[in-house]
């Protein structure tokens, strides 16, 4: 990778290994890099400890999303999804266990796959795609079992409420749709940009981030990031953050949010911004908390840079991993 490619690199996706000792990151060149958190966090860490232990090309286009099952890393790019055995990757053996394409309307269509989430309730993979649909892959049998249709533009983000058997999706059309995962039917449609407290018509109406926690939902993008109560289907807090938020997560009694800006925002549930923690990239795309290992419990953040910032304490950046 030359200096020009590094200059224009963006990190779009991340996922921790099931053991929590490794971090996989995906970039705009179709590459996935594996980093050893055990080596990077060691007291004896050197500069080479912050470099990948393995880099491989997973897709022809950008790797927009990564996630991990109990045994596999799942990656998605333009139109396709691939699965890689974590145990094989750690041995530096690169070969996909499988590659699948959702059932698109046309064989000429290569829509982006923008978001994926696991639904452990029925061992399925929920896939939000650029063909305006949500595709559901049965991981046990390896077949796409249903398509959720209703969005009129790109689907940017998906989430699940397993206790309620619901799937949530946000799209370019400005809607958050709530689906019954058992019937594949939409049960609610929230047009967030029509709520005066959330609307930012000068920015846009698309929904680019979505997260759920029991009866609560975070969503934002063109509209301001907002916290919604899903039983009353109404916003309870709106966060005065600048720019478009690309990812948000519930963490303890706080909300962590990233987007157009070189910082991680710490927000209180009532709507106040508690802190903005500086990061290396000028704009951020992906935020991950490692809950798979108490020994390697870190927050990692990536964006418009070949560097992935690592936080051992949420209050400051400890160091950066680099492609």
Residues 40-84: pLDDT tens digits?
Answer: 999 999 999 999 999 999 999 999 999 999 999 999 988 999 999
Partnered with residue 27 across adjacent β-strands are 11
The pLDDT of residue 120 is above 80: yes
Strand 124-129 relative to strand 143-148: parallel, antiparallel, unpaired? unpaired
Here the tokens at position 163 are 């206790």
Mean of pLDDT values over 308-312: 97
d(CA 216, CA 221): 17
pLDDT at position 253 is: 93
CATH number of the 112-273 domain: 2.130.10.10
pLDDT at position 104 is: 87
d(CA 3, CA 288): 27
Mean pLDDT of the chain: 95
pLDDT band at 103 (very low <50, low <70, confident <90, very high): confident
pLDDT band at 5 (very low <50, low <70, confident <90, very high): confident
Mean of pLDDT values over 98-111: 85
pLDDT band at 162 (very low <50, low <70, confident <90, very high): confident
pTM, 2 dp? 0.95
Residue 246 dihedral angles phi and psi, to the nearest 5°? -100, -20
Between 6-10, 145-149, 221-225, 300-304, the lowest mean confidence (pLDDT) is in 6-10
C-beta of residue 290 within 8 angstroms of C-beta of residue 300:
yes
Mean of pLDDT values over 261-280: 97
The pLDDT of residue 106 is above 90: no
In the chain, domain spans: 112-273
Mean of pLDDT values over 269-281: 97
d(CA 290, CA 22): 10
In tens, the pLDDT along 183-225 reads 999 999 999 999 999 999 999 999 999 999 989 999 999 999 9
Mean of pLDDT values over 250-258: 96
pLDDT band at 4 (very low <50, low <70, confident <90, very high): confident
pLDDT at position 110 is: 85
Q: H/E element holding 71?
A: none
pLDDT at position 146 is: 95
d(CA 208, CA 1): 30
How large a percentage of the chain has pLDDT more than 90? 93
C-beta of residue 263 within 8 angstroms of C-beta of residue 287:
no
The pLDDT of residue 108 is above 80: no
pLDDT at position 312 is: 95
Where does residue 227 rank: exposed (0-12), middle (13-18), buried (19+ CB within 10 A)? buried
DSSP for 193-226, written as a single string: GGSTTT--TTT-S-EEEEEEETTEEEEEESSPPE
d(CA 310, CA 32): 17
Mean of pLDDT values over 16-25: 98
pLDDT at position 126 is: 98
């Amino acid at each position: 990778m030359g200096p020009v490619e590094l200059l224009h690199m963006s990190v779009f996706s991340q996922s921790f290994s099931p053991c929590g000792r490794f971090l996989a990151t995906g970039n705009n060149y179709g590459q996935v890099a594996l980093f050893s958190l055990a080596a990077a966090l060691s007291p004896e860490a050197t500069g080479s400890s912050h470099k990948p232990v393995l880099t491989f090309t997973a897709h022809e286009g950008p790797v927009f999303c990564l996630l991990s099952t109990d045994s596999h890393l799942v990656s998605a790019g333009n139109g396709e999804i691939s699965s890689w055995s974590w145990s094989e990757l750690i041995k530096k053996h690169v070969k996909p266990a499988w590659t699948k394409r959702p059932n698109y309307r046309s064989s000429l269509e290569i829509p982006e796959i923008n978001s994926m989430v696991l639904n452990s309730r029925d061992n399925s993979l929920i896939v939000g795609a650029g063909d305006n649909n949500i595709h559901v892959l049965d991981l046990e049998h390896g077949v796409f079992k249903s398509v959720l249709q209703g969005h009129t533009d790109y689907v940017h983000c998906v989430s699940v409420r397993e206790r309620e058997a619901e799937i949530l999706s946000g799209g370019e059309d400005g809607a958050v749709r709530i689906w019954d995962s058992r019937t594949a039917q939409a049960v609610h449609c929230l047009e967030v940009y029509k709520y005066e407290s959330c609307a930012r018509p000068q920015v846009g109406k698309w929904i680019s981030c979505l997260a759920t926690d029991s009866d609560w939902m975070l969503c934002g993008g063109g509209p301001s990031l907002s916290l919604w109560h899903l039983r009353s289907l109404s916003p309870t807090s709106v966060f005065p953050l600048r720019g478009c938020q690309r990812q948000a997560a519930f963490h303890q009694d706080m909300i962590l949010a990233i987007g157009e800006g070189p910082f991680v925002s710490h927000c209180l549930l009532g709507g106040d911004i508690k802190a903005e923690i500086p990061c290396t990239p000028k704009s951020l795309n992906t935020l991950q908390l490692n809950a798979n290992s108490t020994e390697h419990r870190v927050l990692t953040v990536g964006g418009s840079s070949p560097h992935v910032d690592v936080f051992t304490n949420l209050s400051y950046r400890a160091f950066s991993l680099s492609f």
